[in-house]
Amino acid sequence: LPKGGPLELLSSRQTDPNIPTQCQSICDPIVSLIDTGCTPQECCTNAFVGNLTSCFECVGNITQTTNYSLPQSDIDGLVEECTSEGLNITDTTLPGQNPNRTLTTLAPSSTHTLTFEEVKKHNKDGDLWIVIDSKVFDLSKFADLHPGGPNVLYAEGVAGKDATEAFFGLHRHEVLLRPQYARLQIGVIEGEVENVKVPTPGSLSKVPYAEPSWLSEGFFSPYYSNNHRTFQKAIRKFFEEVVRPEAVKCEENGKRISQEVVDKMSDLEIIAMRLGPGKHLRGRTLMEGTVKPEEFDYFHELILNTELARFGTRGFVDGMLNGAVIGLPPIWNYGSKELQAKVVPEVLSGKKYLALAISEAFAGSDVSGLQTTAVRDGDHWIVTGTKKWITNGTFADYFTTGCKTEVSTNMVKILELTLQQKGLTVLLIERGEGVSTKPIKTAYSSTAGTAYVTFDKVRVPVGNTLGEIGNGLSVILSNFNHERWMVTGCSVGAQRVIVEECLKWANQRIVFGKPLTSQAVIRNKLGKMITRIEACQNWLEIVTHQMNNMTYNEMSSKMAGQIGLLKQFVSRCGRETAEDATQIFGGRALTVTGMGKLVENYHRTSGFDAILAGAEDVLGDLGVRQAMKRMPKDALL
């Protein structure tokens, strides 16, 4: 969109042969209108031939807002033009928001009151009204475009009637909120009010077990303070308003998170907070001052992790710069001062992206089997090898890379190395000559940026070595605790949403004339799901409490086993819940859109939690092996 918005596009139309591309950007927000019969092409043409109001007419009673950088005089003209065409368009720009003004067109007649007597007269082809949750919709033109076909709308009990129950048996409430459908509303039934309300951003669900008990009315927790509550509210609001639309879009189109959203996250220091409590937070204003850096603890971070996983967009969860969360700690724990001073601010401000590049086609959980090799050549390492499954790799600027290091015997003498010549070493590799990445198609969205990375004789300054040469294994292992704990937090957040979805669906779905919850087999599944999420949450919270009270080193030595077992338990529970949820939703859980879309996404992607950051079985085994190490010698029966 040109700087001056649609009007500038309009005035430049005669001279610019490249109109279709520009049209696309003007019409992007309304592409989804295709199914109401208004094609983006038409919108473009309308805008193109000067009939700007027609273009707005296509948008109809859009409830989303559109930003245009227009001078006030143009805004006034536009509002006047639209109003004279019978469109209710308002300038809802907040003071201080100039020059990006926000125009919102509103439903002109959604408050008209009508009676059932009036509605029932409109029950035929070409003249069709129906009522959903007290709102009257004119579907006369839409019926032929209805994705479920026109016939179902003309059926008895639907055409000219209150079709609320039928509607909610087949659609999510959000369908009615999409601008292209919301504009079909022509009024409300006299004396009735809507039952299903749009939750205000940041609000808590009232569905039992849809929130952890510390957020449920009338329940208590020893772990969370008022500050955690304020923080949770602010985070949920921000995520719902800013991140959710981006998450849904990226999960579908597979594109990486936009710089605009990254910038907004970094303004609030969300990228820095995702790396946990610590000195990297000093001097930063977290969430506009909601929490002081010295107050920020692992429970704040847990809140971030559970909240960001609530959108049913698992690929996006990893695409939301998880590479930095897992790849940056080795730099500030083991990198040189110079390296830290350069890289840490770039990554925390969201200006540069980082990926952790450990796993290979040759080695996954068996990190010691890595084949990527770094050979010492004077002040450089020459790195050659490949890495697989690298989250955020497609767009990363830096790679925190595990390498097998080879140092000649001569070099060992020169460098006075006391370590083995061969070992693992972690290097920070910058994208440049010899580094190439290609996307790997996985079961989840490519918005995660999962990549196959090739290093072809890449020259890496020795100053980019993280930790001691040959001591890479401890660099990698010390990083794992936090990463695994983070994955469990995200899994718990996502699982809880699935529990809520199932409780709602089982309650509203009518089969054989009764709600699904009247079936004992369904109640049994719900009971197990609730038990699992509560068990996961409670174990996760006590582990988080330990982390809050331990030093980093204590955590490394005492918690690795328990976090391994916790992650195994949480990811296994998640997959069982995914299975149960699929049974409860039936065929709806098999389609990417529609009623069961969150269950579909979770069922398809919950396996990632069982593999990423350490395979489930390997972690369970780690937990037992760590316990065995601590067995007292006199522990005999």
Residues that bind ligand HEM (CB under 6 A): 130, 132, 137, 139, 146-148, 152-153, 158, 163, 166-167, 170-172, 175, 181, 184, 593-594
The owner of tokens 């430049």 is 12
The CA-atom distances, in angstroms, between 535 and each of 65, 197, 518, 612 are 42, 31, 25, 22
3-state secondary structure of 430: strand
The residue among 99 and 150 lying less far from ligand HEM, judged by its C-beta, is: 150
End-to-end alpha-carbon separation of the chain, Å? Answer: 76
Q: Which residue has the tokens 């049913």?
A: 312
Q: What tokens were used for 232?
A: 């949770």
What span, in angstroms and rounded, lies between the C-alpha atoms of 11 and 7? 6
Q: Whole-number minimum distance, CB 257 to ligand HEM, in Å? A: 25
Report the alpha-carbon distance of residue 132 to residue 164 in Å, rounded. 4
Quote the least distance from Cβ 597 to ligand HEM, whole Å: 8
Q: Which is nearer to ligand HEM, 173 or 558 (CB)?
A: 173
- What is the C-alpha to C-alpha distance for residues 497 and 513, in angstroms, rounded to an integer? 27
CA dist list (Å): 563 to 543, 554, 617:
7, 13, 13
Neighbouring residues of 471: CB distance < 8 A, sequence distance ≥ 6 = 419, 423, 424, 425
Quote the Cα angle for 452-458-459, to 5°.
Answer: 150
Which residue, 135 or 575, has its beta carbon nearer to ligand HEM?
135
For residue 555, report the phi and psi dihedrals to the nearest 5 degrees. Answer: -60, -45
Question: Nearer to ligand HEM by C-beta: 13 or 588?
Answer: 588
Between 40 and 620, CB nearer to ligand HEM: 40
Pick from 180, 383, 162, 349: nearest CA to 266: 349
Question: Smallest distance, Å, CB 155 to ligand HEM?
Answer: 6
**Residue 188, CA distances (Å) to 57, 101, 178, 499 in order:** 22, 31, 18, 33
| Nearer of residues 50 and 148 to ligand HEM, judged by Cβ | 148
Strand duo 185-189 + 113-114: pairing: parallel
380 CB-near residues (< 8 Å, 6+ apart) = 459, 460, 461, 462
Closest approach, Cβ 152 to ligand HEM, in A, equals: 4
| Residue among 122 and 404 whose Cβ is closer to ligand HEM | 122
State which residue, 181 or 296, has the beta carbon closest to ligand HEM. Answer: 181
CB of 147 to ligand HEM, least distance (A): 4
Instruction: Give the residue with the Cβ less far from ligand HEM, 20 or 587.
Output: 587
Min dist. Cβ of residue 598 to ligand HEM (A) = 12
d(CA 356, CA 583): 37
Nearer to ligand HEM, 249 or 284 (CB): 249
Q: How far is the CB of 518 from ligand HEM (least distance, A)?
A: 22
CA dihedral 458, 461, 467, 472 (to 10 degrees): 20
- Which is nearer to ligand HEM, 75 or 247 (by Cβ)? 247
Quote the CA–CA distance of 540 and 305 in Å, as a whole number. 12
Nearest to ligand HEM of 38, 158 (CB atom) = 158
DSSP assignment of 57-113: HHH-S--S-EEEE--HHHHHHHHHHHHHTT-EEEE-PPTT-TTEEEEEEE-SSTT-E
- By beta-carbon proximity to ligand HEM, the closer residue of 177 and 624 is 177
Q: How far is the CB of 251 from ligand HEM (least distance, A)?
A: 16
Q: Which is nearer to ligand HEM, 175 or 204 (CB)?
A: 175
State which residue, 48 or 142, has the beta carbon closest to ligand HEM.
142
Chain CA centroid to CA 2, Å: 30
CB 329 within 8 A of CB 275: yes
> Backbone phi, then psi, for 87, in 5-degree steps?
-100, 135
With vertex at residue 596, the alpha carbon angle to CA 591 and CA 600, rounded to the nearest 5 degrees, is 60
Question: Phi first, then psi: what are they for 596, rounded to 5°?
Answer: -100, 20
Q: How far is the CB of 135 from ligand HEM (least distance, A)?
A: 8
**Of residues 513, 530, 514, 503, the one with CA closest to residue 584:** 503
- Compute the least distance from the CB of residue 122 to ligand HEM, in Å: 13
Least gap, CB of 178 to ligand HEM (angstroms): 7
Distance CA 322, CA 324 (A): 5
Q: How far is the CB of 145 from ligand HEM (least distance, A)?
A: 9
Residue that has been written with the tokens 């983006």 in this structure: 40
Give the per-residue SS3 of 544-602: HHHHHHCCHHHHHHHHHHHHHHHHHHHHHHHHHHHHHHHHHHHHHHHCCCCCCHHHHHH
CA distances to 54, 476, 552 from 402, in Å: 58, 8, 22
Q: How far is the CB of 40 from ligand HEM (least distance, A)?
A: 18
> Closest-CB residue for ligand HEM?
148
